[in-house]
Amino acid sequence: METHISYLLPVIGNLARYFIFAGIPFLIFYALYPDTFSNNKIQSRLAKHKDFIREILHSLQTIGILAIVGIVLVFSPLRAYTQMYGEIQDYPIWWIPISIVLALVIHDSYFYWMHRTIHHQSLFKWFHVVHHKSVNPSPFASYSFNFLEGILEAMVGPIIFFLVPMHPISIFLFTLLAFIINVYGHLGYEIAPKWFRRSFLFEIVNTSVHHNLHHKKFRGNYGLYFRVWDRLMGTEHPDYVKEYDLIQARRFGQKETSSSKQWILPMVLFLSLTGSSIYAQQSIEGTWFDEVNGGIISIYEQDGNYYGQLLEATNPKEQALIEGKSIHVLYDFKRTEENAYCCGMIFQPRRDIRVSGNLVLVNEQTLRVEGRYGPFTQRRTWKRIKEEQSPAKGD
């Protein structure tokens, strides 16, 4: 009977850790005091209840995978090949914190390269698309993976325990600390203290803004605990520090300088006097027709980024597939020059893939869409649809 109870401990432990250390932050920030922490909110958009339910259900699957791996490592003959030790006097007491730090470093390195690999266009939909359904993640997204990614996430356990001597105390503290940091990364709110920005830790350790930006942009910021690999490999998102500083300025009450306020009103008056049509001609906002794929797309601006929502397909069969669904084909494009929009993601529904890309407003009526496939670039031309226009649907 005791053996059967022991087998249940990894399951119970993982469930308790998830619902306590993800549930309490969720209650505080999302259920009880969202208005109190409104200045801490990283993205202005709000997730929906169905998103939380999806995150919990997929997390329960991941918890099952983690528990099975833990049971195999502890109760099977594989235990003899691990570095786990039961007597605390087998190693000096100072080895416990050292082993925890080593485990975090190994986990972060494993996660960075595994995470970056499954973002490849040929692997993304098989391994990682479920996790990125949480564009605006909550604490419950911490374990929200599909089955295949859940296995990859769990495989770091055997790697660590085969390499690093760890006492059960070290294992407990490592898994708890790792999950708390994971929850912080998916919190959706920045809670780092003001002094953190000027400390050496900021140059090394990730923040909630860091990982939230990865969910928002679908690329860059692949590290879990540390910024080290992203900075070494040039994959840290260029807007990270700026986004972090904006959130902290809002939290701690740093106001605009008087000089910044002085030019806002004259600029608004100037634009209104010269006519808003000048700006409209330079904007990609509006409705566009993809002449190759036959789709009608509405491009809009939100929080300084541009998104494109697929409104309808001209092919009746394809229209039936998208009916009632919210499908975005453009994500997170930023205006970098007068008529250029850079570094967003393009979703191709027919092939179910996402690729990075750029947009170029050739003229008021023509938008060039450039998708990058590794070293190759594919270009499409979209035509602006005026309100009175409506392309004829195919048979």
Least confident of 62-71, 111-120, 157-166, 323-332: 323-332
- Give me the residues paired with residue 360 across strands: 340, 368
Least confident of 184-188, 210-214, 387-391: 387-391
Contact 173, 86 (CB under 8 A): no
Q: Hey, what are 106's tokens?
A: 């190994």
- Give me the residues paired with residue 290 across strands: 295, 382
Contact 238, 210 (CB under 8 A): no
Query: Does pLDDT of 261 surpass 70?
Result: no
pLDDT at residue 129 in the model: 94
pLDDT at residue 353 in the model: 81
- Calculate mean pLDDT across residues 159-180: 96
pLDDT at residue 46 in the model: 80
Closest listed residue to residue 343, CA positions, set 232, 209, 207, 238: 238
Question: How many Cβ atoms from other residues are within 10 Å of residue 64's Cβ?
Answer: 17
Residues 6+ apart with CB under 8 A from 54: 133, 134, 144
- Secondary structure (3-state) at 329: strand
Dump pLDDT digits (tens) for 114-149. 999 999 989 999 999 999 999 999 999 999 999 999
Dump pLDDT digits (tens) for 293-337. 788 889 988 878 889 888 888 777 777 777 777 788 898 888 876
Mean pLDDT: which of 37-51, 145-159, 267-281, 362-376 is highest? 145-159
- Calculate mean pLDDT across residues 60-89: 93
- Residues 317 and 278: their CA atoms lie apart, in Å, by 39
Dump pLDDT digits (tens) for 187-216. 999 999 999 999 999 999 999 999 999 999
Backbone angles phi, psi at 37, to 5 degrees: -105, 25
Radius of gyration of the chain (CA): 24
Contact 87, 165 (CB under 8 A): no
Mean pLDDT (the chain, rounded): 86
pLDDT band for position 292 (cuts 50, 70, 90): confident
- Calculate mean pLDDT across residues 225-253: 93
Question: How many Cβ atoms from other residues are within 10 Å of residue 260's Cβ?
Answer: 9
Contact 353, 125 (CB under 8 A): yes
Contacts 24+ apart (CB under 8 A), 46-53: 46/136, 47/134, 47/136, 47/137, 47/138, 47/188, 51/133, 51/134, 51/136, 51/138, 52/26, 52/138, 52/140
pLDDT band for position 254 (cuts 50, 70, 90): low
pLDDT at residue 345 in the model: 86
In residues, how long is the chain?
Answer: 395
- Calculate mean pLDDT across residues 34-45: 91
pLDDT band for position 271 (cuts 50, 70, 90): very low
Q: Hey, what are 320's tokens?
A: 């039936």
pLDDT at residue 266 in the model: 40
Query: Does pLDDT of 76 surpass 80?
Result: yes
- Residues 98 and 174: their CA atoms lie apart, in Å, by 11
pLDDT at residue 270 in the model: 39
Q: Hey, what are 136's tokens?
A: 């605006």
pLDDT at residue 57 in the model: 97
pLDDT at residue 326 in the model: 79
What percent of the chain has pLDDT above 90? 58
This prediction has a pTM of 0.66
Query: Does pLDDT of 174 surpass 70?
Result: yes
Least confident of 20-24, 227-231, 275-279, 316-320: 275-279
Q: Read off the amino acid at residue 235.
A: T
Q: Hey, what are 198's tokens?
A: 């000027």
Least confident of 116-125, 272-281, 371-380: 272-281
Locate the DSSP E strands across 303-390: 305-313, 327-337, 340-348, 353-363, 366-373, 376-385
Question: How many Cβ atoms from other residues are within 10 Å of residue 134's Cβ?
Answer: 21
pLDDT band for position 395 (cuts 50, 70, 90): very low
Query: Does pLDDT of 392 surpass 90?
Result: no
